[in-house]
Amino acid sequence: MKKIIILGAIAMSLLACNKTNPLLDQPATPYGVPAFDQVKTEHYLPAFEEAIRENKAEIDAIVNGDPIATFENTIEALDRSGLLLDRVTGVFFNVLEADGNDEMDAIAEKVSPMLSELSAYIILNDALFERVKAVYDVRNELNLTAEQMRLLTETYKSFADNGANLPADKKERLKQINEELDLLSLQFGRNVVAETNSCQRFITNEEELKGLPESAKAFAAEEAAAAGHPGEWLFTPKRTSFTPVLQYCENRELRKQLLMDYTTRANHDNQNDNKAVIIREMQLRIERANLFGYANPADYILKDCMAKDHQTVDAFLQSVWAPSLAAAKREAAELQKLLDADLPGEKLQPWDWWYYAEKLRKAKYALDEEEIKPYFELSNVRKGAFGVANKLYGLQFEPLQDMPVYNPEVEVFKVTDAAGELIGILYTDYFPRAGKRPGAWMNQILPQYIDADGVDHRPVIINVGNFNKPAAGNPSLLSMDDVETLFHEFGHALHGLLSRAHYKSLSGTNTPRDFVELPSQFMENYAYEPEVLKTYAFHYQTGEVIPDELIQKINAAGKFNQGFVTTELLSASILDMDFHELTTAEGLDVNTFEQQSLNKMGMIDEIIVRYRPTFYNHIFTTGYEAGYYSYTWSAVLDADAFVAFMETGDLFDPATAVKFRHLLEQGGTRDAQELYLEFRGKEADPQHLLRRKGFVE
């Protein structure tokens, strides 16, 4: 009794200490969103400690509850646990990725092993697994709904796939492996950010920037002034900074320097070098796969994906690689001719490709991206994406003012359906900053689920990007790639927002990785459709809608340079698979292995793989290991899905849109292949993707 009293006193003390923590004692906020504006750095660690303690107590209550395990008191209860931790992690990791700093990094290092230990506490809990297995073993006698059966099956697989059936010694080793991998992932990401931020090239002579558009020079001048170098121009390995130089600058040496700055990040034998991190990660991933009886990490990872095994992925990638590489070689020959005219005897190099491709695009299609960018003002492009969602699904997007945000650049929107019902809350955060990791992504801040009382908790979703900041009094103007990226990430957001699952572990984007890119890539199809362009592409100075002549040029050039684009992407996918098909990391040299992989695939010297290993965040930090192929796999699905609309003669055909929205609403509640077959009525035809890219007639 005395022990219980003491524990109770400690619990009361903890509650008192945490009473003013906005992550624990959630203040009243519109729509229940996190109180970002009240959260301070010192709140995170106590919040994690309390949320983890609460989650463990929930697990203990399941284990020590009714001795007869049922779907409700075990499987459902497990899915409904951890809501406080969901809120804390949703806030912390979003801010860490989008607006982090050294203090946040230090907290992440402390929290990572705590979360790994919690995961092990749940997934390697023998008593809990016994209950899960007991329910699973009688599943066919329980008269469950299809979604309940899916939850039960996925819960059992999650335990089995993560070590519940392993003997005690292997469970302990698995726990150690996962903890170390989590820390290595954090270290890898920190190194990439540090390298990106530390590499700065200041130009003092404007003559060296000949050919660079005035807007790009103005941006570089503002960056230099902010860095304490007024009157100069600053370029960094951030894509918004160096891409215009690659496209337009006549200075070949500067193009080379900036591309090398980008492609050699975290590969310099310094404190930010990621080669040793990669070797250790691969050692641990191989050992983990071996614990489960798999020879390599790829097959351990792929077993729950649509592809199922590495042989299927390899065959798929090769089927697209051959026509892509052939197209890239034809494109290289064309670009070489342009280089010959400028620099006779010189060979086309990777830092020449973008420059001469831009010249060739102008020559072939009279298409100058600088002529188009004034029509792609950021907020208008976002309105265009919103407009597509409105025409397809009847969604409305209302800007919300005075909402709690973690950075003043973040904007917030209320999303409702045609009847005015709340769909969810969408945050957008589009500009680069020192504490933001490179790239663009969608994250879930709060999940969608239906609670025990039947209340549908709508999701809070965020789209994050690294687009050009407004410069020299102009708004943010997007490149064509940026426009596609915005539509892409918005497609992920719709997948999360439209979710109608009962269970949070099955809601939104909780699907196989080679299916999750379908909704995002499907949205890209609409970006340059003429009827869509007319709704958002307005000149930022005159308000003029984009002229038909420019639209025709954009669409005429739609298949231009696709050999390069696809080969660059596929080479990264094949490199990813080669790493994860390793059966040993003994003697692994990262740079040598990369070159061997490129040689094996026949990669041409004129193209650099999209992500070189030491800054390949997708596979070493964000959970896409043995999964980068998913973008191309899903591209087959998205091309086929878009054809379903084209076949009706209406890109917004209501009946087809209803069917596709139903696919999005299902999340992971059903088998991905089953969902697609229900939508399309047949398997996806890969020829649609090859035709879209111009590889076949």
Catalytic residues: 489
Dist CA 248 CA 114 (whole Å): 49
Dist CA 385 CA 524 (whole Å): 9
Between strands 411-416 and 396-400, the pairing is antiparallel
The angle formed by the CA atoms of residues 370, 615 and 318, to the nearest 5 degrees, is 85
Written as one string, the DSSP assignment of 347-416 is PP-HHHHHHHHHHHHHHHH---HHHHGGG-BHHHHHHHHHHHHHHHH--EEEEESS---SSTT-EEEEEE
Coil vs helix vs strand at 609: coil
Coil vs helix vs strand at 19: coil
Dist CA 4 CA 6 (whole Å): 5
Find the Cα–Cα–Cα–Cα dihedral 295, 298, 300, 303, rounded to 10°. Answer: -130
DSSP H/E element including 330: helix 310-342
Write the single-letter amino acid at 88.
Answer: V
In eight-state DSSP terms, residue 213 is -
Dist CA 636 CA 501 (whole Å): 26
Longest Cα–Cα distance in the chain? 90
Q: What is the CA radius of gyration of the chain?
A: 26
> How many CB atoms are closer than 10 A to CB 4?
8
Buried b (16+ CB within 10 A) or exposed e, 361-370: beeebebebb
Q: Which long-range contacts (CB under 8 A, 24 or more apart) does 224-231 make?
A: 227/200, 227/202, 229/202, 231/204
Contact yes or no for 528/558 (Cβ under 8 A): yes
DSSP H/E element including 457: strand 456-457
Dist CA 588 CA 278 (whole Å): 10
Dist CA 123 CA 117 (whole Å): 10
Three-state secondary structure string covering 121-187: HHHCCHHHHHHHHHHHHCHHHCCCCHHHHHHHHHHHHHHHHCCCCCCHHHHHHHHHHHHHHHHHHHH
Find the Cα–Cα–Cα–Cα dihedral 246, 251, 559, 530, rounded to 10°. Answer: 70
| CB neighbour class for 694 (10 Å; exposed up to 12, middle 13-18, buried from 19) | middle
Dist CA 274 CA 243 (whole Å): 24
> How many CB atoms are closer than 10 A to CB 516?
22
Find the Cα–Cα–Cα–Cα dihedral 172, 176, 177, 181, rounded to 10°. Answer: 150
> How many CB atoms are closer than 10 A to CB 15?
12
